Amino acid sequence: MNDVQLLKSFIVKNDGTQAVLAEAMGISLSALNAKINGTGGFEFKQREITFIKERYGLTDKEVNSIFFNQMVS
């Protein structure tokens, strides 16, 4: 499971709302929400992950936690 709450905390801390990030990324708010929530087959593209990493100054560990960690049973 990806750390959605960590991403949301960075968004609120830096941009205030997801709408601000969506506009900066050039995507709709609904598309951003779908990517964050993993619904509708939407996933973050590599360039979007890089954009978010640079915008918020994320560490590699934070990027991995937000976008790549998955529970393995």
- Is 28 a member of any domain? yes
Distance CA 27, CA 50 (A): 15
Q: Which domain holds residue 32?
A: 4-68
- Is 73 a member of any domain? no
Query: pTM for the complete prediction?
Result: 0.87
Give the single-character DSSP code of 47: H
- Is 41 a member of any domain? yes
Count up the domains in the chain and report the number.
1
Q: Could you report the per-residue pLDDT of 7-45, keeping only the tens digit for each?
A: 999 999 999 999 999 999 999 999 999 999 988 889 999
> Among 52, 55, 29, which residue's Cα sits nearest to residue 2?
52
- Is 31 a member of any domain? yes
Q: Which sign does the torsion angle of CA 42, 51, 17, 26 carry?
A: negative
CATH number at residue 22: 1.10.260
- Is 17 a member of any domain? yes
